[in-house]
Amino acid sequence: MPRSDIPPDAPIGVFDSGMGGLTVVRAIKERMPNERIIYFGDTAHLPYGDKSAEAIRHYAQTIAAFLVDKGVKALVIACNTASAVAYQLLHERYGHHLPVINVVHPLVESLRRQNPSKVGIIGTKLTIKSGIYPRLIRQHMPDVEVISMPTPLLVPIIEEGYIHHRISDVVLNEYLRDPALQGIDTLLLACTHYAVIKEEIQALLPHVRVLDSAEPTAEYLQEVLQDRHLLYRGEAPSGEDEYYVSDYTHTFERMSRYFLGQTIALQQMDLWRNESLPFEADTSCG
Ligand code: DGL
> Residues 166, 79: one domain?
no
Based on the fold, state whether residues 187 and 220 are members of the same structural domain: no
Both 113 and 205 in one domain: the answer is: yes
Of the residues 197, 212, 227, the one at which a domain ends:
212
Of 64, 191, 221, 230, which one is the catalytic site residue? 191
Are 72 and 44 in contact, with CB atoms under 8 Å apart? no
Question: Structural domain tally of the chain?
Answer: 2
Global confidence as pTM: 0.93
Boundary residue ending a domain (212, 246, 262) = 212
Atom of ligand 1 nearest to the CA of 47: 8
Question: 247: exposed, middle or buried (C-beta count within 10 Å: 0-12, 13-18, 19+)?
Answer: middle
Among 258, 240, 134, 146, CA closest to 196: 258
Mutate which of 40, 63, 79 for ligand 1 pocket (most atoms within 8 A of beta carbon): 79
Residues with CB under 6 A from ligand 1: 16-18, 20, 46-49, 79-81, 124, 127, 155, 191-193
Could you read off the pLDDT of 189-246 as tens digits, one per residue? 999 999 999 999 999 999 999 999 999 999 999 999 999 999 999 999 888 999 999 9
DSSP H helical segments within the chain, as ranges? Answer: 22-31, 53-69, 80-94, 104-112, 125-130, 132-140, 154-159, 166-176, 198-204, 214-227, 250-260
User: pLDDT digits over 238-259, tens only?
Assistant: 889 999 999 988 888 888 877 7
CA dihedral 123, 222, 138, 147 (to 10 degrees): -20
Of 184, 212, 240, the residue at which a domain comes to its end is: 212
Phi, psi of 93 (to 5 degrees): -75, -40
Instruction: Based on the fold, state whether residues 32 and 80 are members of the same structural domain.
Output: yes
Q: What's the gap in Å between 7 CA and the centre of ligand 1?
A: 31
CA 45 to ligand 1 center in whole angstroms = 11
With beta carbons less than 8 A apart as the criterion, state whether 85 and 31 touch: no
Q: Are residues 109 and 37 in the same domain?
A: no
Residue 14 predicted with pLDDT over 60: yes
Which structural domain range is residue 122 located in? 105-212
Which amino acid, one-letter code, is at 235? Answer: E
**CB proximity list for 193: less than 8 A, separation 6 or greater:** 18, 19, 20, 23, 154, 155, 158, 159
Q: Is residue 80 part of a domain?
A: yes
191 has catalytic annotation: yes
